[in-house]
Amino acid sequence: MSRIAYVNGQYVRHADAAVHVEDRGYQFADGVYEVCEVWQGRIVDMPRHFDRLDRSLGELRIDWPMARAAFEFVVRQVVRRNRVRNGLVYIQVTRGVSRRDHFFPPEEVAPSVVVTARSTSTEAANAQAAKGISVVSYPENRWPRVDIKTIALLPNVLAKQNAKENGGKEAWYVDTDGFVTEGGSTNAWIVTRDGTLVTRPAESGILRGITRTVILDLIQKEGLTFEERPFSLEEAYDAKEAFVTAATSIVMPVVQVDDRTIGNGHPGSVSTRLREVFHTATDFQMV
């Protein structure tokens, strides 16, 4: 079965999927995106992802490419046509195609839309989670508007590549005050020695992750102790547990930060529990 992508109104073979060279996403990274998890043939928290897409589009003054219900239909179609049961669906909207000029296009230009989906291995992800990952700290190198989910990810690419070259799976951004902001493509969490979950407020320095929001609900449900405040890299080194959250990894335990072992070097009980019960707190859209 060949993979199918949706590009500007058409379902095409993934191998043939293409946008124009003067797409503003290609020229200026002038666009936004979302990634949703597909779990057991259902799309996880699509309304929340579309709400955030709406906010990102609004902040950049890019029009919705179509009505929201039609867009949700396209996303479901792409998942269905690729027969994804467990995996990811990627949604991207750019300001469209126009002669290269930094100013917004002078005339009405239709936004460009790309939707792709792919299967991922649940077994591989669970095996990774059973071991935990290492993260490598990196000085914050992004613009202040990290609350907008833009496709301008070059700083994240550099931070994550540095992590990889130093034996890590994720980068942890550290701001000029020594506080961890978030991961290169995840939100960052610790559990202190007294068992308090800590994550940075979403008001500044981070993307308000949808997975993060689900975890906040779970913390309430499970009656866990929680503080929403910045934590320093030093505090992370000393934590009992650490983990990252994102649609691509749900809850992924962190067992090493730089050259420091976290806790006993194995995924902690809080992270493991949150990963296990995660889908009890999510909303689902059938495809």
Q: From CA 21, how far away is CA 250, in angstroms rounded?
A: 34
Out of 7, 17, 163, 246, point to the residue binding ligand PDD (CB under 6 A).
246
Of 79-87, 122-130, 179-187, 271-279: span binding ligand PDD (CB under 6 A): 179-187
Please count the other Cβ atoms lying within 10 Å of the Cβ belonging to residue 142: 18
Cβ proximity of 34 and 52 under 8 Å: yes
- 140 touches ligand PDD by CB under 6 A: no
Pick out residues in 10-69 that bind ligand PDD (CB under 6 A). Answer: 35
CB of 155 to ligand PDD, least distance (A): 10
Of 132-140, 162-170, 183-191, 275-283: span binding ligand PDD (CB under 6 A): 183-191
CB of 105 to ligand PDD, least distance (A): 26
Nearer to ligand PDD, 185 or 272 (CB): 185
Q: From CA 25, how far away is CA 205, in angstroms rounded?
A: 23
Of the chain, the end-to-end C-alpha distance in Å amounts to 18
Show the tokens assigned to 142: 């992004």
- 210 touches ligand PDD by CB under 6 A: yes
Nearer to ligand PDD, 30 or 45 (CB): 45
Is residue 149 annotated as part of the catalytic site, yes or no? yes
Q: Among 149, 164, 169, 221, which one carries the catalytic annotation? A: 149
Nearer to ligand PDD, 35 or 125 (CB): 35
Give the binding site for ligand PDD (CB under 6 A): 35, 182, 185-187, 207, 209-212, 245-248
Active site residues: 149
